[in-house]
Structure 1
Amino acid sequence: MTDCLIVGAGPVGLTMAAELARYGVGVRLIDRAPHATETSKALVVWSRTLELMDRMGCSQAFLEAGLRAPGASIRSGGRTLGHPRFDTIASAYNFALMIPQRDTEGLLAAHARAFGVEVERQVELIGFTEACDGVEARLRHANGYEETVQAPWLLGCDGAHSAVRHGLGLAFTGSAQGDDWLLADVRLDGPGAPPPDEIATYLHRDGPFVIFPIPNGRARVVATVGKTEAGHARPDPTLAEVQALVDRRAGGDIRVSDPVWLTNFRINERKVSEYRRGRVFLAGDAAHIHSPAGGQGMNTGMQDAVNLAWKLAMVIRGMAGEGLLDSYSPERSAVGDLVLRNAGRLTDLATLSNPAAQFARNLALRFLLGLHAVRDRIATDEMDKTHCAFRGSFLVARTTSWRSAEPRLQAPPGRLIRALPV
C-alpha cells in the first residue's frame, strides 16, 4: 500500500523515503530523470546531518566514503586573516564531511533499498488534485503511458523547479544575485595549494575565490566572474580561464589540471511562505533555495525530510492526530528563513566591491577570527546549526522538554526506533 507518494529522488527525497520506510510506512518514490546525479553538486555534510544519519543507520557508510575537513582558512592579499575550526562543534562529528552529491545519492539509495524502496525513474508528475482523504496524482512514464495514483499524502522533494510547488500555485518569492559564478572540479598542485583537508577562502578585490576539498585528491574551485548582459548566456569556462583566475586571486603558486566539471551558475535566493497545503508537503529545494555560502542547502533539505518523516509516520500509524503535522511548516520555515538570511549575509560580505569596505571587512575579520569565542560561534551558528531549536513551535510549548516529546515508533521487524524531533 502507498501511504506517501514522494516526487523527486535527490538527497531529500531519498532521505524522506528511507525514513518513512524505516518506520513501516508504504512509500512510492518517483523521479523524472533517467539516472541519478552524475556530478559533485552539493559537497558538504555537516555535523547535525551526520547525527541524524547515525540514527537512520547510514552514517558509517558516509564516513568511509567522505573526507573530513577539520577547519577552514580565510586569506587576502597573501595574508591569512584567520583559521575557523570545526573541532569546537558540540558533536561527535566535529568536522565538515566532504562528499560529492553523486556519492551521497548512491549511499542514500542503497540505504533506502535496504528498506525495500526502489526509485522509479523516468516517471513524471503531470498533475494532481486533492480530496479530503488523499491526493489523486497523474503520472507519465517514459513510454508515454499515463497512470492515476491515489495516495493519502503527496511529498514534493523535486527541487527548485518543483512540479508539486507549481501544482499548489505557491509563490517562490525572492531574487537572483547579479554576479555569475564559476565552478570547476579539478586537481590542484603547487606550493600555494591549501592543505588537502581545508576549505580555503580567498578574499580578492575582484571577488571571492573558494577551494573546497573533495575525496580522492580533487578540489572544487568557486569564484565570482562578473555580470552577464540580460538575455546572454555565459559559455562554460575553459581550464585556461580557471588557471588565469586562480593565478590572479590566489597568488600564482597553484596549478590546476584534470577537469571533470566546468560550469557557471547564478545564485538564487527564494522561498515559499508555507511548506504544507492540506495533504501536500514541500521539502528541500522545492521550498527554499539560497546562496551556497556555508554549504547549508542539501543539509537543510535532508533535515526537512527527517522532521516530516517521523511526524507523518506517527499520524499514519495512528499514534498521533493530524494536528501534529501542523508543526512542520512553521518549524522548517523558520529554519529556512535563518539559512537564507545567513547565507545571503555571508555572500554579501564576500562580494563587497568598494575598496574601503573590503579593507574594513578584512581588518575586522583579522581581529575577530583571532578570538576563540568568535571562531567557535562561526563554526556552530553559521556552518553547522547543531544548536538550531524551534522555540516558537507549538510542539515545544506543549512539552516541558524535547525528551518528553520524543516519539517511539516500532519498525519492522520489531526493532525499536527512537525518533528525535528535528
Structure 2
Amino acid sequence: MTDRVLIVGAGPVGLTMALELARYGVQVRIIDKIPDAEHTSRAVAVWPRTLELLDRSGAAADLIPLGNKVTVANLLSGGRRVAALSLDQVPSPYPFVLMVPQYDTESVLRRHLAAHGATPDLGTELLAFEQDADGVSARLRGSDGTESTERFAFLVACDGAHSVVRHRLGLDFKGDTMGLDWTQGDFHLSGYPFPSSQMSIFCHEDGPMLFFPMGPDRARIITSLGPTTGKPAVPLDQDAFQKVLDVRGPGGITLTGTVWISAFHINERQVDTYRRGRAFLAGDAAHIHSPAGGQGMNTGMQDAMNLAWKLALVTRGIADAPALLDSYDPERRPVGAQVIAASGRMTRMATLANPILEHLRDVAVHLLLGLAPVQRAMTGLMAEVSIGYLHSPLNGPSRGDAPAGSRVRPVVGEVPFGAGDTPLFAACGGAGAAELASRFPQLVTARRCPSDGEPLLSLVRPDGYLAAEVQDADWQALVPYLHQIGAER
C-alpha cells in the first residue's frame, strides 16, 4: 500500500491541501489539466481565519505585503450610508480582510510547496479512478499525451464546480441557480469616495454594485446584469461598465483601465457528502455559492486545513481511528451550508427592487448594525473566526468556559497551533500537559500556560480548535480520548 495522496486541482484549495500535507511529511501528487498557472485575479478576499491558518506554514507573512488591508464594510442606499461594519475589532492577529489577486495567493502557496519538494503537475488530467480497501488507482494523462495508472492511498478533489471526481463518484450537486446574470471586473479608477481601507455595497433599484478595493486606484467591482436568459452571461466592457456605474454608484468614479472582466451566474449548490470511501471533496467541488461575501475560496482553503492534518496522521501511521477521517464531512459540510445561506441572504437583500422593501431593509439594517452584539456577530461570521465544530464527533470532555469544537484564538508572538512537521495536538496547561506529551509523544506536544484561576488543561487540535478541556490535575481523563486517535508510546 502506498501512502501518497493525489490532489486533483491546483488552484488555491488544492495548493493549500498539498502544502499542508507536504509540510507534515506526506508524499503528494497535485495535478491540474490546465497547462499553465492562473493569471487572472478571480478570488480576491482572504479573511482573518484563513490568514491565521496560513500562518502555520509561514505563507501568511509572505501574502500580506502583496495585498490591501480592508477594515470597514459600508452599505449604502439612496446615496447615503445605511451601515458600516468595522473589522478592526475582530479578535484575531489579522483584524482585516486582505484584498489580493488570486494569482498572488497561488504564487505564494506554490513557492512554499516547492520548499517542501513538491510542485504541481500542470497539463496532467485525471481520466478515471477506482477505489478498493487499500487505496485508489488513478488513470492519468500527462501533458505529452502519455497515459499511466498510479496508486495512491487517498484522492482529494479540489477540481472546482465542474469536478470530474464528483461526477465519477456519482454525487448529486443539489441546489439552484439564482435568476440574475452578473458581471465583474478589476479596474483602475479614480474618485472612489472612501479610503482604500473600506469596501462598499451600493444598493440601487436597478441592481447593487459591490466595490472591493485592491489598492488606492484599483478595485474589484461586481454588479448584476438583469434576469438570466438561460444563455451564457456576457461581461460588460469598460465603457458599458462605466455607464452602469454612473447610474448605480455614488457618482464621481471614473474607470481608467481594465485589468480583467468576466460574467457569471450565481449557483447555490452542495453535495450530500464530502467523502466517498477514500475520495474526499473540498472547495467548489463540494459547495458553490454567491460571491457577495467573498468567502468561497476561504471556505475551500479551510476545508483543506481541516482535512490535511487528519490525512497526515493516518498516512503516517500515527493514528488509525476511523472517526478521524469520518469527522471531515460532519465538520465541514455544515460550514458550507452556512456560507451558502449567508451569502444568498446577502445577495437577495442587496437585489431588492421594491421601494417599500428597500426602505424596510435600510431601516432594519441601520438599527440592527447599530447594536454592538449584532456588529460582533456579523464581523465574526464574515471574518470566519466564529466558525466552530461544536457538534463534531471528535469533541472530548469540556469543563471550561469554551465548549469543545470552539476556535482557540491565536496569540501574537506564540508559535501557531499545528506549526511544524507533525500534526500534533497541543496540551496547554501545567504538569498534566507534560504527562500527556510524555505518554503520547507522536500525538501531543506540551505548552505551559499560566492560569489566573483554576488550572485547566486544554487539548488543542492541530487546526487550532479545542478538542477537550479538563482540570490540569485530571489530565488522565484525556487518556481514553487520545487512545481513540492513536496509541501511546
TM range (shorter): over 0.9
Q: 1:99 corresponds to which residue?
A: 100
CA displacement, residues 217-268 of structure 1 (integer Å, 9 cap, x when unaligned): 31111111102323x3343312111111111012331111210112211111
Aligned equivalents of 1:76, 1:165: Cα separation in 2: 41
Give the Cα separation in 1 of the matches to 2:251 and 2:373: 34
Q: Distance in 2 between matches of 1:126 and 1:238?
A: 37
Deviations 1:99-152 (A, max 9, x none): 111110111010111111111010000100111100000001222211001111
Given that 2:390 and 2:405 are in contact with CA atoms closer than 8 Å, whether structure 1 keeps it comes out as no
Q: Which residue of 2 aligns with 1:238?
A: 237
Task: For 1:135 and 1:252, locate their aligned partners in 2 and report how far apart those are by CA, in whole Å.
Answer: 57
1:6-405 map, 5 Å: 6-190=7-191, 192-215=192-215, 217-230=217-230, 232-323=231-322, 324-381=324-381, 383-397=382-396, 401=404
Alignment partner, residue 420 of structure 1:
463
Give the conservation status (yes or no) of the 8 Å contact 1:81–1:369.
no
SS in structure 2 of the partner of residue 293 of structure 1: helix
Deviations 1:60-119 (A, max 9, x none): 101111111011111111111121100111111011111111110111010111111111
Say if 1:99 and 1:215, in contact at 8 Å, map to a contact too.
no
Q: Distance in 1 between matches of 2:255 and 2:157?
A: 39
Contact 1:85 1:376 in 2 (8 A): no
Q: Tell me how far apart the structure 2 counterparts of residues 359 and 317 of structure 1 sit (CA, whole Å).
A: 58
How big is the shift at 1:402?
5.7
Give me the TM-score of the superposition, normalised by structure 1.
0.94
Q: Name the SS of the counterpart of 1:84 in structure 2.
A: strand
Question: How far apart are 1:372 and its partner, in Å?
Answer: 2.7
1:409: Cα distance to partner?
7.4
- Relative to 1, partners in 2 of residues 1:228 and 1:290: Cα closer, same or farther, differing over 3 Å? closer
Gaps of 5+ in 1: none
Q: Which amino acid aligns with 1:257?
A: T
Task: Determine the C-alpha separation between the residues in 2 that align with 1:2 and 1:394.
Answer: 25
Listed one character per residue, the Cα deviations across residues 38-70 of structure 1 (whole Å, up to 9, x for unaligned) are: 111111111111110111221110111111101
Distance in 2 separating the partners of 1:208 and 1:238? 18
Q: Distance in 1 between matches of 2:346 and 2:176?
A: 16
> Structure 1 CA distance, aligned partners of 2:258 and 2:250?
20
Counterpart of 1:109, as a letter, is R
- Per-residue deviation, residues 265-307 of structure 1 (Å, max 9, x unmatched): 1111110010111111111111000111211111111111011
Of stretches 144-153 and 315-324 in structure 1, the one that deviates more from structure 2 is 315-324
Cα shift readout 1:155-202 (whole Å, capped 9, x = no counterpart): 111111111111111000011111011112111212x53322211110
Higher mean C-alpha deviation, range 58-67 or range 390-399: 390-399
Counterpart-to-counterpart distance in 2, 1:150 and 1:322: 23
Matched, 1:5 2:48: no
Which has the higher relative contact order, 1 or 2, with Cα contacts under 8 A spaced 6 or more apart?
A: 1
Structure 2 counterpart SS, 1:38: coil
CA distance, structure 2, for counterparts of residue 407 and residue 265 of structure 1: 37
TM-score scaled by length of structure 2: 0.81
Instruction: Report the secondary structure of 1:184's partner residue.
Output: strand
d(CA) in 1 for partners of 2:279, 2:250:
51
Distance 1:125 1:216 in 2: 42
| Cα separation, 2, equivalents of 1:339 and 1:228 | 23
For 1:218 and 1:364, the matched residues in 2 are separated by 32
Q: Is the deviation greater in 299-308 or in 258-267?
A: 258-267
Cα shift at 1:369: 2.5
Does structure 2 retain, via aligned residues, the 8 Å contact 1:73–1:82? yes
Cα distance in 2 for partners of 1:2, 1:142 equals 25
Between the aligned partners of 1:147 and 1:263, the Cα distance in structure 2 is: 36
Residues 234, 276 of structure 1: CA spacing in aligned structure 2 closer, same or farther, 3 A cutoff? closer
SS in 2 for 1:179: strand
> What letter corresponds to residue 132 of structure 1 in structure 2?
A
Offset, 1:354: 1.6
> Are the equivalent residues in 2 in contact too, given 1:307–1:421 (CA < 8 A)?
no
Q: How far apart, CA to CA, are the structure 1 residues paired with 2:359 and 2:419?
A: 54
Deviations 1:327-372 (A, max 9, x none): 0111000111111111111111111122211111011122223233
Structure-2 separation of matches of 1:236 and 1:408: 43
Equivalent residues of 2:392, 2:405 under 8 A apart: no
Report if the CA contact (8 A) 2:233-2:265 is conserved. no
Mean alpha-carbon deviation: is it higher for 58-67 or for 370-379?
370-379
Matched pairs, number: 417
Which one has the largest radius of gyration? 2
Shift of 1:28: 0.6
Report how far residue 421 of structure 1 moved.
Answer: 5.1
SS in 1 for 2:203: strand
Moved more, 38-47 or 214-223: 214-223
* Paired residues of 1:314 and 1:409 also in contact (CA < 8 A): no
CA distance in 2 between counterparts of 1:237 and 1:409 reads 47
